[in-house]
Amino acid sequence: MDKKEIADVLDLIGTMLEIKGENPFKIRAYFAGARTLQGLEEDLGKLINEGRLGDIKGIGKALTEKIETLYVTGRLDFFDNLKSSVPDGLLELLEIPGLGGKKIKVLHDELEVDSIDSLTEACNRGKVAELKGFGQKTQEKILTGISNREAYSARHLWWKAREVSEQILMGLRTLAQVDRAEAAGSLRRGMETVGDLDFLVASANPLPIMKWFTSMEGVIEVTAKGETKSSVRLEDGMQADLRVVPVEQFYFALHHFTGSKDHNVRMRQKALSLGLSLSEWGLRPDKEKDASRNVGPIEADSEQAIFRELGLQYIPPALREGLGEVEAAETDSLPKLVELDDLCGCFHNHTTASDGRNTLEEMVADADARGWEYLGIADHSKSSFQANGLDEERLARQVEAIHQLNSSGQFKTYVFTGSEVDILSGGRLDFDDSVLETLDYVVASVHAGLTQDEATMTDRIVKALEHPRVTMLGHVSGRLLLRREASQLNIQKVIDAAIANNKVIELNANPMRLDMDWRHWRRAAERGLLCAINPDAHAIEHYDFQIAGIHAARKGWLTPEHILNTRSLDSVQQFLHSTNP
């Protein structure tokens, strides 16, 4: 742990002792120790090595031992035990501005407040204002703090965050003082939801950049404004951080603030194993390890260079989740991840026949303009009446229209006839086999009864996967990110059934779905599961969702070989014939 992190631990110890009502002298010692560390100019490692930490005013014997333990091992039993003795709900209260250990103790003792919910309730009943040392003003401030916290902590769809971020990046890049500007954080890693936006700029002249950022369009509140770091809140509740660094630090900072934390931890360990110290500031010989090496920092003019210096293959941001990517990069065994250009078409698309906004012709024309070799049309089936699902007769007419379109030669894109068939309760399909046999392929999806228990839902889906006419499973979990939880499901059983029956599972690229979740793909694909990345388009502009699908697929370590719609028309036709004769 570094100085700052240790100071934070000491602070939290002091606060927790306050909450527990311990001896004020003891408490004061921790707070004083934290402040002393924060203001310490000398190198902490050096002080510890030379045994001089205890000599510093404000750091007594007990504190010295604890700081040394934290510095060397990164943890402290005393701290861990203390933390587990204080209810989580009380620690959560610390996130509300104006609430410290003493106030939290009073709230807990007098009003039995033990969570943000019970605090809100107490405020709403006017109980907090009545407490000694609180009053009406404090009560209001607490309520505002709680509602702000909700707005701040809200996450946002990657798709939405990306749109906002691109606007801001464009603005930053037009500024004369900006040498380089990139978005980092979870957005760059392609996480399905994003907490806040993290911008990074290289410049020798940060001031005008800070000024622009804090007064740009859409800013409703400036939450922090410093010389090289600012934070703002935007109209829709999204938060954005900006850091400006000198150009020689840019790629180190970009790597650091892209994260994830777990990835960074592994990278720092890797550096240390080579006698180097890696941080947001740069890469340099680890002085603590080898004080005689008086070499300067190592330069990097790209992220690639940083990985190269550490003897690693370049790790794309999508893989930086601390899930074994550093180990794979050590042995040159990172996957060659799929890219947008690898896609030759897709299978799950709707038209005005069901609930789409564009006609069959418009959908095909746009696919053609995108250079796609093939397009699958899979409108809803009759049970999805709320989505104007097709009955047998309307489906037959659509199939006929598609055959005509294909033979007309109007478009280069070949159109496959399909259907998104409802998986009914018990796993029955919404059409008879005789109807399904008229189609090139079938996407089977659950649209109703999403709240069945795990065993029932799993059996239902497995049953559908065992049906000979089913080609692929649509949006397996039914989740709508930030809006609706995934269905209860034994996903491993579903994956097993798909592999055993030679079925494809869709990676639904709709930014609200991104379903099946990327976390399951790596292992599933290793075991032989085939993926189809589908936009679930209900309009031509939804074809763009494939970008989100590709990001999720990359996070799942998928290569073109794992994905059906990277194959050519011929080979897809072969696949469909072999699985659906």
Among 383, 445, 510, 566, binds Zn ion (CB under 5 A): 445
Among 14, 185, 285, 389, binds Ca ion (CB under 5 A): 185
- Which residue of the chain is nearest Zn ion when measured via CB? 445
Of residues 77, 96, 88, 80, the one with CA closest to residue 153: 96
Give the integer Cα–Cα distance in Å for 279 and 289. 16
467 φ/ψ angles, rounded to the nearest 5 degrees: -70, 130
Secondary structure, 3-state, 31-77: HHHHHHHHCCCCCHHHHHHCCCHHHCCCCCHHHHHHHHHHHHHCCCH
Neighbours of 68 (CB within 10 A): 18
What does DSSP assign to residue 430? S
Give the integer Cα–Cα distance in Å for 35 and 14. 12
| No. of helices (H) and no. of strands (E), the chain | 25, 17
Among 18, 68, 192, 198, binds ligand DGT (CB under 6 A): 198
CB of residue 157 to ligand DGT, shortest distance in Å: 11
Which of 1/183 has CB closer to Ca ion?
Answer: 183
Which of 445/471 has CB closer to Zn ion?
Answer: 445
Residue 563, strand partner residues: 531
User: Which of ligand DGT, Zn ion, Ca ion, none interacts with 264 (beta carbon under 5 to 8 A by kind)?
Assistant: ligand DGT
CB of residue 420 to Zn ion, shortest distance in Å: 5
Give the integer Cα–Cα distance in Å for 405 and 413. 10
Which of 108/256 has CB closer to ligand DGT?
Answer: 256
Among 11, 182, 196, 440, binds Ca ion (CB under 5 A): 196
User: Which of ligand DGT, Zn ion, Ca ion, none interacts with 551 (beta carbon under 5 to 8 A by kind)?
Assistant: none
Among 61, 261, 336, 483, binds ligand DGT (CB under 6 A): 261
Determine if residue 195 is left, alpha or beta; phi over 0 gives left, psi from -120 to 50 gives alpha, anything else beta. alpha
Give the integer Cα–Cα distance in Å for 426 and 540. 34
Applying CB under 6 A, which part among 106-114, 141-149, 251-259, 281-289 lies near ligand DGT? 251-259
Which of 214/260 has CB closer to ligand DGT?
Answer: 260
Among 15, 64, 165, 186, binds ligand DGT (CB under 6 A): 186
DSSP assignment string, 513-568: T-BS-HHHHHHHHHTT-EEEEE--BSSGGGGGGHHHHHHHHHHTT--GGGBGGGS-
What does DSSP assign to residue 235? T
User: Which of Ca ion, ligand DGT, Zn ion, none interacts with 445 (beta carbon under 5 to 8 A by kind)?
Assistant: Zn ion
CB of residue 265 to ligand DGT, shortest distance in Å: 6
Give the integer Cα–Cα distance in Å for 579 and 581. 6
Among 68, 196, 420, 440, binds ligand DGT (CB under 6 A): 196
Among 15, 203, 264, 354, binds ligand DGT (CB under 6 A): 264
CB of residue 508 to Zn ion, shortest distance in Å: 8
Which of 161/367 has CB closer to ligand DGT?
Answer: 161
CB of residue 269 to ligand DGT, shortest distance in Å: 11
User: Which of Zn ion, Ca ion, ligand DGT, none interacts with 261 (beta carbon under 5 to 8 A by kind)?
Assistant: ligand DGT
DSSP assignment string, 79-130: HHHHHHHS-HHHHHGGGSTT--HHHHHHHHHHH---SHHHHHHHHHTTHHHH
- Which residue of the chain is nearest ligand DGT when measured via CB? 259
Assess 195 for contact with ligand DGT (CB under 6 A).
yes
Which of 58/195 has CB closer to ligand DGT?
Answer: 195
CB of residue 190 to ligand DGT, shortest distance in Å: 11
3-class SS of residue 431: coil
Assess 185 for contact with ligand DGT (CB under 6 A).
yes
Among 198, 303, 379, 422, binds Ca ion (CB under 5 A): 198
CB of residue 378 to Zn ion, shortest distance in Å: 9
CB of residue 559 to ligand DGT, shortest distance in Å: 25
User: Binding-site residue total for ligand DGT (CB under 6 A)?
Assistant: 14
CB of residue 445 to Zn ion, shortest distance in Å: 4
Residues 262-281 binding Zn ion (CB under 5 A) are none
Of residues 301, 441, 298, the one with CA closest to residue 378: 441
Which two three-digit tokens encode residue 82? 């203390």
Which two three-digit tokens encode residue 400? 């006929």
Whether 436 and 576 have beta carbons less than 8 Å apart is answered as no
Residues 149-178 binding ligand DGT (CB under 6 A) are none
Binding mask 406-425 for ligand DGT (x = CB under 6 A): --------------------
- The β-bridge relationship of strands 283-285 and 276-278 is antiparallel
Binding mask 217-246 for Ca ion (x = CB under 5 A): ------------------------x-----
> Which amino acid appears at position 489 of this protein?
L
Applying CB under 5 A, which part among 4-12, 55-63, 320-328, 445-453 lies near Zn ion? 445-453
Cα–chain center distance at 406: 41
CB of residue 444 to Zn ion, shortest distance in Å: 10
CB of residue 187 to Ca ion, shortest distance in Å: 7
Applying CB under 5 A, which part among 182-190, 385-393, 535-543, 550-558 lies near Ca ion? 182-190
Percent helix, strand and coil across the chain, each to the nearest 5:
50, 15, 35
What is the side-by-side order of every strand in the sheet holding 180-183?
180-183, 196-202, 239-245, 229-234, 219-225
CB of residue 212 to ligand DGT, shortest distance in Å: 21
Give the integer Cα–Cα distance in Å for 77 and 7. 16
User: Which of Zn ion, Ca ion, ligand DGT, none interacts with 559 (beta carbon under 5 to 8 A by kind)?
Assistant: none
Judged by the rule CB under 5 A, the positions of this chain that interact with Ca ion are: 185, 195-196, 198, 241
Judged by the rule CB under 5 A, the positions of this chain that interact with Zn ion are: 445
Judged by the rule CB under 6 A, the positions of this chain that interact with ligand DGT are: 185-186, 191, 194-196, 198, 256-257, 259-261, 264-265
